[in-house]
Amino acid sequence: MSKRLALIPLAILAFVPVLALSLQPAAPAASVEGLNAADMAWMLVATSMVLFMTPGLAFFYGGMVSPKNVISTMLQCFIAMGVVSVIWIALGFSLAFGDSIGGLVGNPLTFLMFRGVNEAPNAALSPTIPLLLFALFQLKFAIITPALISGAFAERIRFSSYLIFVSLFSIFIYAPLAHWTWHPDGFLRQWGVLDFAGGTVVHMSAGFAALAGASVLGRRHSHLAGAQHLPAHIPFVILGTGMLWFGWFGFNAGSALAASPSAVQAFATTNTASAAAMMAWVFFEWLRGLKPSAMGACIGAVVGLVAITPAAGFVTIAASLVIGVLASGASNVAVHWKSKSTIDDTLDVFPCHGVGGIAGMILTAVFATNGGLIAGEPLLVLKHLAALGLVGVFTFGGSWLLYHATNLISPLRVEEHHEQLGLDLSQHGESLGIADLVIAD
């Protein structure tokens, strides 16, 4: 990024706190009546656990790419914690959870600059915990979603362009989806669509945005040349998987928003589905005549976590076993098909998160104990299928437009010689274990 261009985001960042201070009125202490200490304690822990998932994702992705792109790939995940946090306070939370405008998006003025987001509970959103804690919990979901997308175009995107896309995606794609699905007046929630912790909002949106990104940016030059891709550090992948699995308990069980039986159920189904999916992936590798791999076991575990996310508090433990196995099979097939196609989704974001999220949403409608197909209510399946179609079109089409808008502001792809050099050096002037750096301009 040129010095002149860098002045624009710096000026915006400087303006945000000035505006925030100007919008904070002198107000009496917020009423804390109705708060539950146990719920607050659990949600503080769960919020921290969900944030921990983003560094976990950084290790998970960083271990999969080539050695010359490890730092850049990890930074693309890590930087989302900074970019999205500022956007969420300034505008994002209000767009997602502000007063509903037709069930489509929140009024941007409702919580602009976190105005009115304080220690008091909110009857509609957070009846037993402070609205501030609810907003921070939801922030962690908003952070990890664009970080997930980064795996699709790893090894070839310009860092400044990535920052622009993440900002646009958070405002124009993520916030409306969160409103549709989780706001009490959101139209998908009003339909009765079930998404306990983010099957549509996080994983499907990331998957379809990743597919759009892979198509817009095109294939890596090494991919065109047919070079074999070797992951940089599989122990990083294993470490990242462990961090994700741990943090996912906060992701899913925390979505109960209380220290409650629903949270316990979500905790149990999360672990069960991930375990089943991991073992299924290993067995699928055997069936293909492959050796069982650490990489495969880790990918399978994450697919199980993805698939159980929308269902976690709505299904039985037995159903979570089925969900884990079926989603693992669907994603395994999708990865196999993708490897034979011309789509260069670097780290299989769509086959794992997109397909895993789709499988999870469909199976939620099948196995939900209240209103699911097996419980005798086939209508929920039709509602979920309609929601999947809407979310897919909105996320893929909207992201495709945002990639092209970003490209008009700053070219998306790095130059070919920078890609060959590696993004660690060409974008950040850093590398793994190299003392003297010679950077191409």
Task: Look at residue 441 in the predicted model and tell me its pLDDT.
Answer: 40
Task: Look at residue 30 in the predicted model and tell me its pLDDT.
Answer: 67
Count of Cβ atoms closer than 10 Å to residue 82 Cβ? 13
- Which stretches of 79-114 are DSSP H helices? 80-87, 93-97
- Residue 437 binned pLDDT confidence (cut-offs 50, 70, 90): very low
- Residue 440 binned pLDDT confidence (cut-offs 50, 70, 90): very low
Model confidence at 355: pLDDT above 80? yes
Count of Cβ atoms closer than 10 Å to residue 14 Cβ? 9
Question: What is the per-residue burial (b if ≥16 Cβ within 10 Å, else e) of 251-270?
Answer: bbbbbbbbbbebbebbbbbb
| SS3 labels along 199-223 | HHHHHHHHHHHHHHHHHHHCCCHHH
Model confidence at 439: pLDDT above 50? no
Residues with Cβ within 8 Å of 413's Cβ and at least 6 positions away in sequence, in order, are 156, 157, 158, 217, 218, 419
- Residue 377 binned pLDDT confidence (cut-offs 50, 70, 90): confident
> Lowest-pLDDT range, 162-171, 342-351, 387-396, 426-435?
426-435
> Lowest-pLDDT range, 221-225, 282-286, 374-378, 436-440?
436-440
- What domains does the chain contain, in order, with CATH numbers? 37-413 (1.10.3430.10)
> 60 and 238 in contact (C-beta within 8 Å)?
no
> 169 and 399 in contact (C-beta within 8 Å)?
yes
Task: Indicate whether this model's pTM tops 0.85.
Answer: yes
Cα(121)–Cα(130) distance, integer angstroms: 4
Model confidence at 165: pLDDT above 60? yes
97-124 pLDDT per residue, tens:
999 999 999 999 999 999 999 999 999 9
**Residues β-bridged to residue 413:** 157
- pLDDT average, residue stretch 344-364: 96
Q: Left, alpha or beta for 121 (phi > 0: left; psi -120 to 50: alpha)?
A: beta
The DSSP letter of residue 122 is E
> Lowest-pLDDT range, 33-37, 94-98, 177-181, 387-391?
33-37
**Residues β-bridged to residue 101:** 105
Q: What is the mean pLDDT of the chain?
A: 92
- pLDDT average, residue stretch 140-165: 96
Task: Look at residue 44 in the predicted model and tell me its pLDDT.
Answer: 98
Q: Left, alpha or beta for 191 (phi > 0: left; psi -120 to 50: alpha)?
A: alpha
Residues with Cβ within 8 Å of 438's Cβ and at least 6 positions away in sequence, in order, are none
187-228 pLDDT per residue, tens:
999 999 999 999 999 999 999 999 999 999 999 987 665 667
